[in-house]
Copies of this chain bind each other. A is one copy, B any other.
Amino acid sequence: MDWSIQEVAKLAGTTSRTLRHYDDLGLLPPSRVAANGYRHYDQASLVRLQRILLLRELGLGLPAIAEVLAGEASEVHALAGHLAWLRQEQERLARQVASVEKTMHALEGGEQIMAQDMFDGFDHTQYREEVVERWGADAYERSDRWWRGMSDDEKRAWQARTAALGADWTDAATRGVDPASAEAQALAKRHVEWLTGIPGTPTAAPGGDVKGYVLGLGEMYVADPRFAANYGGTDGAEFVRDALRVYAEANL
Contact = CB atoms under 8 A, between A and B. Distances in A.
Interface of A: 10-11, 13, 43-44, 46-47, 50-51, 53-54, 57-59, 75-76, 79-80, 82-83, 86-87, 89-90, 93-94, 96-97, 99-101, 103-104, 107-108, 117-119, 153, 156-157, 159-161, 163-164, 167, 171
A143 to B, nearest CB: 21
Contacts of A153: 47
B104 A43 contact: no
Contact of A11 (B89, B96, B156, B164): B164
Contacts of A99: 57-58
Contact of A87 (B47, B97, B103, B163): B97
The 9 closest A-B pairs by CB, nearest first: A46-B160, A47-B156, A54-B118, A59-B96, A79-B104, A47-B157, A11-B164, A11-B167, A47-B160
B107 A75 contact: yes
A86 B79 contact: no
